[in-house]
Structure 1
Amino acid sequence: MTEKTMTYQRTEYPRPQFQRDSWMNLNGTWKFAFDDQNIGESDKWHQNLTETTDIQVPFTYETKASGIGDEQFHPYVWYQRSFEIPTDQIGKKVLLHFQASDYLTKVWVNGAYIGSHKGGNAHFSFDISNAVTTNDKNEVVVKVEDSNSCYQPRGKQRWKEDNFGCWYVQTTGIWQTVWLEFLENKSIEHVKMTPNIDTNSVVFDYSLTGNIDEQLRVATTIQFKGETVKQFSFTPSRSTMHFEVDLLAEIHEWKVMHWTPEHPNLYDVTIRLYEGDRLLDEVQSYFGMRKVSIKDGQVLLNNRPIYQKLLLDQGYWQDTMLTPPSDEAMIEDIEKTLEMGFNGVRKHQKLEDERFLYWCDRKGLLVWSEMAATYEYSEQAVENFTKEWLEIVQQYYNHPSIITWVPFNESWGVPHIATNKKEQAFTESIYYLTKSMDTERPVIVNDGWEHTISDIITLHDYEEFGERFLDRYRDKEAIVQNDIAHNNDKFPFANGYTYKGQPIIISEYGGIAFNEGSGWGYGNQVETEEQFLNRYRNITNAIKDIPYISGYCYTQITDVQQEINGLLKEDRTPKISLEKIKQIND
């Protein structure tokens, strides 16, 4: 391991939207072993993991930061580490959390099997209270099973031996923070917060765990910049409760502070659970008062049209790949994005670390949250995708920066959607399932082309000449009637679906690469900054000049492995003046 990779540590609180003081970070050095023959369970490795090497969690074995750096695919991997219960947490319920582990994760504590979770992107936890001991070290053993199956949501992870096209080295095993949390038997499980700027209110949906009785009381305090806005409490009659709170207050002349990219105002929330006078649980959270809606072919933010200038962001780093190396690295990407004049990112084929979303919430960067794709259609793929997508929507719901859900991209996983009724029905079902959980955000079904039912019509087009782009898109009716193809041979709608007046956004374009050795971009490569800026200016201005197009997403923020069309190199060194990019975006 190089000196640089040894400095990577993930010590931050992993879930800032639902934060407690009583937690323990389990990142760091774990024992690790490959199990290519899949003999570990029959040989009872969960009782004693031998012949191991060290790995730095949460970085996967494929990364340099893990200390291993083996890019070969290994379908079965094992982890082990010990921990002690802090003295002041003895007697409490112990939860073991995984922010993300790809793909099937099995857990043992002190030799006892705890449970499993399938899915590579959603976070999950286990109650290990009955398995831990308080007077000695505890051993946690984790087995993760992965595969090259195109039926599992894999995003940009390759399923062949080598990288190809825009698919990169796979991510196997634990790739986000592992941590412990200590709770009373009665606690706050979840709070869903839904702002409504039209009524100046916010709805709280509380979920509690443990026996509900008349001794319990839930108290909520809402503050803005340290000043109390509202306080209220109630005695729960069941484990789920629903409250709507009027936010009007004399904190400012506007009475309610809205969240926008220019002014990302956040309300802080403290939620406490009491039994009599005894404090059982306390959670810190926050929300933003913002509204996303659609009217007259425009996306509205807080009832006003917003022209979206997005940057495609795949969330890869040179030494850590899909795992962000640090808070500072995430902040750097966000600040450089804003510095270049973009107001949002399309998180492409990745469910990003919640701390990234936290910083987007705080800094005012809009986010399109996109699911990792499967690549073949089957009933198994439908089941895998649907289960994990519903987990994601629930887990990410409270982040104000997320303004759009993108479950499907470019017909990946639904390759015959243009004509296949089953695949069309699948995308419709995901659209309505998402809406059943979140009526507040637009849902894009099949970003790029061949849309079925979708709140926004998004088109991908890597045309490199602005004049040709203008000619292609000048006639809106010809585009939306499927009379003109884009991106070579694609059409906006699947068979049987028609335009309903939705906003139209060019959600992938550009991809300009410099001619600098191996690697690829879209179209002809450029030699100089001047050539790059001329091409970027011409195509971006062409998009802006088409009145019915209400935004764009440039490909992309950084180089990723063999794909070298980033505005920044993999190490985040700018290739072009950020100020010159900003001037064109403005």
Structure 2
Amino acid sequence: MELDLRRVIGGMAPEPLDVELHRLETPWTGQVERSEHPRPEHPRPQFARVRWRSLNGWWDCAVRPCADARARWREARPPVGGAWESRIRVPFSPEAPLSGVGHRLAPDELLFYGLSFDAPALAAGERLLLHLDAVDWACAAYLNGGRVAEHVGGYLPFSVDLTDALRTGENRLELCVFDPSETGTQLRGKQRIRRGNMWYTAQSGVWRDAWLEVVPAAHLVGVSLAPDPDAGLLRLKARVCGTGTLRVEVCAGEEVVATGGAVVGPGAALPASAGAAGPDVSGQGAGGAAATGVVGEASLEIPVVSPRLWGPEDPFLYGLRLSFGDDEVTSYCAFRTVGVEPDVEGTMRFCLNHAPLFLRGVLDQGYWPDGLMTAPSDAALVADVRRAREAGFNLMRKHVKVESERWYYHCDRLGMLVWQDMVSGGGRRHEWDALNKPTLFRHAQAAFDDRPRLHQRRLSAGDAAFREEWRETAAGTVRLLANHPCVVTWTLFNEGWGQFDARAATRLVRSLDPTRPINATCGWYDQGAGDYHAIHNYFRTMRVYPETLVARLAGARRAFFVSEFGGLMYHVEGHSSLDRAYGYDKFDSEEGWREAARARLEEAAALEGHGLAGFVFTQLSDVEEETNGILTYDRRLDKLTGERFGDAGGVG
């Protein structure tokens, strides 16, 4: 019998436990607790200036009840005088142990932040920008009592020009944050107030870097990079404020191998608040500046002779130096192509630089017991990527979360491929349609049209505001991460969760980025769109299935991919957040788990000869009640090798 009912029954999600999690420390916890300025590295290695300053560290903090928080967060004023009752360590959410707060924000509460800082000396025309790389979910920002920005969306960065509100000497920056968690329909990924089984602790507020940056009057706003190894060209599009000459140097190590330049004139005027709308909202690539005043645009094609190709075995990065007037920015790029192409036998395969590459992937939730969605340190991010590589994986699937840009930078330089999921959300799921039916009946996985409003409601996508936020955030995610060579596939919808009109969503993402394959529907409810037929297989015999009827009727030619499998549970006492564990097959010993995990990985790899293009094993680390990771949640034990890790030193 193909379906293993024993595993299905064993994998039924129990009711969440409303209990405190056991305190777990990663190898980096103590290091962060002893530091006044956590995570001091530049937050954006692909768009870095010299004049920047981290605002990570201790801020004033207060939580206030507010019966109408959803309506009042834009106008609610921060506490005055001595009303700040605690401090919070930014960039960790109040729910995260490393924040020092230990408070779970409720939907009827507002969270306030306050920080005093001395204004840097600015020369004539220079601007001071504030960057908040992620605030969950809605945020109003004030400087010296006046509101300077507001932003909605928990996973993308936003920036604001503070210059006109600055005072000489000390300045006061304050934030008001509202987060409805699962009581709303906004994008939120795996977060839930009622955490348990496959759902994790909800968090709120600032959870990625906060920092200041000084830019000249004429400066670069953003850059889009499109290295084309087939043509031997670096295609580059830059957005600038002001008028001047753009110069670009392409470097291999210290050697300048190519140059280009253009004179840039003024373009259309943007409103002064444009920078608060999200990362480079015009779609011209990642950048660091809030657009103020007049913006121009320049496109360059810079020949690079016989470019060195990027790949897992040789992740070669070309350095870039960009200048515009007095503004200087450092960046990098890589030459590589990705796509889904037929092999010599006509089987559709994932191809890197036009050569088939079998993808051995691992699911990465990006959660930590001390920082929740915020890694405790940069070294912790590096350690996860390295351990995935050492375990034999060449791909990490970043699951329904947009990670810190430094994580993508480390994947770029270490040669780790990334499947990037879009963040999920929406209303309450109809469990039969969204989960149980496609689990029990394989043919039902492609028999559900996601365009009727009734079907969208049953997949938690009935709210028009959610659908619009999903489109905007998906577009913002593509624009934010498009310059990273490690990102090789966009995944749009996972297991029908928040799914709506996947064909239209595929067209949207393809129009923004025609260079990468798209996994339109991951798991089930295939609509014949995208470049993969991607299924999840936790409960059936591993095999390669033929294309779905809807895809055949559409004439699709796609690669077959098992985008989740495994889920093997081994609970390690002293290294788990809860006494209860969740997973599919349960193992009572490390050796038993290791033997089963290796057998499943070998079983999947053996299907390459039958047409499988790759797989994603669940998962890199345990997360709270889920104990199906290769690494324990505290990153102290590698279950696959038996290796133990002490405090940070040689780790990462």
Task: Give TM-score, length-normalised by structure 1.
Answer: 0.86
1:301-316 → structure 2 map (5 Å cutoff) = 301-316=352-367
- Please list every run of 5 or more consecutive structure 2 residues that lacks an aligned counterpart in the other structure: 1-22, 24-28, 267-295, 343-347, 427-459, 574-578, 644-652
**In structure 2, how many angstroms separate the alpha carbons of the residues matched to 1:82 and 1:188?**
28
1:194 is aligned with what amino acid? A
Corresponding position: 1:566 with 2:629: yes
SS at the partner of 1:328?
A: helix
Q: Is the 8 A contact 1:367 1:404 kept in 2?
A: yes
- Matched position secondary structure for 2:89: strand
1:339, 1:578 within 8 Å by CA — same for their partners in 2? no
Match of 1:524 among 585, 603, 618: 585
- 8 A Cα contact 2:523 2:564, kept in partner: yes
In 2, Cα distance between equivalents of 1:41 and 1:166: 33
Match of 2:180 in 1: 147
* Residue aligning to 1:538: 599
Structure-2 residue corresponding to 1:435: 510
Paired residues, what number?
Answer: 532
In 2, are the aligned partners of 1:350 and 1:370 still within 8 Å (CA)?
Answer: yes
Deviations along 1:49-74, whole A, 9 cap, x unmatched? 72331000010000110001223535
In the TM superposition, what are the counterparts of 1:360-379 in structure 2 within 5 Å?
360-375=411-426, 376-377=460-461, 378-379=463-464
Q: Partners in 1 of 2:174 and 2:81 — Cα distance?
A: 9
1:150 CA displacement = 4.5
Show the counterpart of 1:400. Answer: 485
Deviations along 1:381-401, one digit per CA (max 9) or x if unpaired, are 111111122111111110000
CA deviation profile, 1:131-190 (whole Å, cap 9, x unmatched): 011x220101101111034521100001xx421331111110100011111111211011
Q: Which residue of structure 1 aligns with residue 209 of structure 2?
A: 177
Q: Does the Cα contact within 8 Å between 1:511 and 1:521 map onto a contact in 2?
A: no
| Residue 335 to residue 514, structure 1, CA distance change in 2 (3 Å) | same
Structure 1 distance, partners of 2:556, 2:492, is 20
| 1:218 equivalent in structure 2 | 246
Q: Percent identity?
A: 29
- What's the offset of the Cα at 1:519? 3.6
Tell me the distance in 1 between the aligned counterparts of 2:230 and 2:480: 25
TM-score scaled by structure 2? 0.78
From 173, 182, 197, the equivalent of 1:165 is 197
How far does residue 437 in structure 1 lie from its aligned partner after superposition? 1.3
Deviation sequence 1:498-521 (CA, Å, 0-9, x none): 572200111100011115573434
Do 1:260 and 1:290's aligned partners in 2 also have CA atoms closer than 8 Å? Answer: yes
Q: Structure 2: how far apart are the matches of 1:28 and 1:409?
A: 35
Correspondent of 1:271 among 309, 322, 326:
322
Check 1:136–1:128 CA distance in 2 against 1; reply closer, same or farther (3 A cut): same
* 1:15-164 correspondence to structure 2 within 5 Å: 15-37=44-66, 38=69, 44-45=77-78, 50-71=83-104, 73=106, 75-87=109-121, 92-133=126-167, 135-148=168-181, 149-158=183-192, 161-164=193-196
- Describe the superposition over 1:471-508 as per-residue Cα deviations: whole angstroms up to 9, x where unpaired: xx26x43xx246xxxxxxxxxx69x9657220011110
Partner in structure 2 of residue 419 of structure 1: none
CA contact (8 A) 1:221 1:231 kept: yes
Q: 2:186 & 2:598 partners in 1: Cα distance?
A: 39
Deviations along 1:540-564, whole A, 9 cap, x unmatched?
2222222211111100111101111
Kindly indicate whether the alpha-carbon contact (under 8 Å) linking 1:73 and 1:170 is maintained by their aligned counterparts in 2.
Answer: no
Partner SS, residue 153 of structure 1:
coil
1:445 aligns to 2:536 (yes or no): no
1:574 deviates by: 2.6
Distance in structure 1 (CA, Å) of the matches to 2:302 and 2:52:
30
User: Is 1:459 matched with 2:535?
Assistant: yes
1:471-486 mapped onto 2 (5 Å cutoff): 473=543, 476-477=545-546, 480-481=547-548
CA contact (8 A) 1:195 1:203 kept: yes
Pair 1:556–1:194, CA change in 2 (3 A): same
Question: For the Cα contact (< 8 Å) 2:259–2:302, is it kept in 1?
Answer: no
Q: 1:42 to 1:183 in 2, by over 3 A?
A: closer
> What pairs with 1:272-291 in structure 2 (closer than 5 Å)?
272-274=323-325, 280-291=326-337
Cα distance in 2 for partners of 1:49, 1:390 equals 42
Q: Is 1:200 the counterpart of 2:246 in the alignment?
A: no
Aligned counterpart in structure 1 of residue 494 of structure 2, from 405, 409, 416:
409
CA 449–497 in structure 1, closer or farther in 2 if over 3 Å, else same = farther
Q: Which residue of 1 aligns with 2:391?
A: 340
Asked whether the 8 Å contact 1:349–1:372 carries over to 2, the reply is yes
- Mapped to 2, the partners of 1:528 and 1:67 lie a distance apart of 35
Q: Relative contact order (alpha carbons < 8 A, sep ≥ 6): 1 or 2 greater?
A: 2
CA shift, 1:573, in A, is 2.1
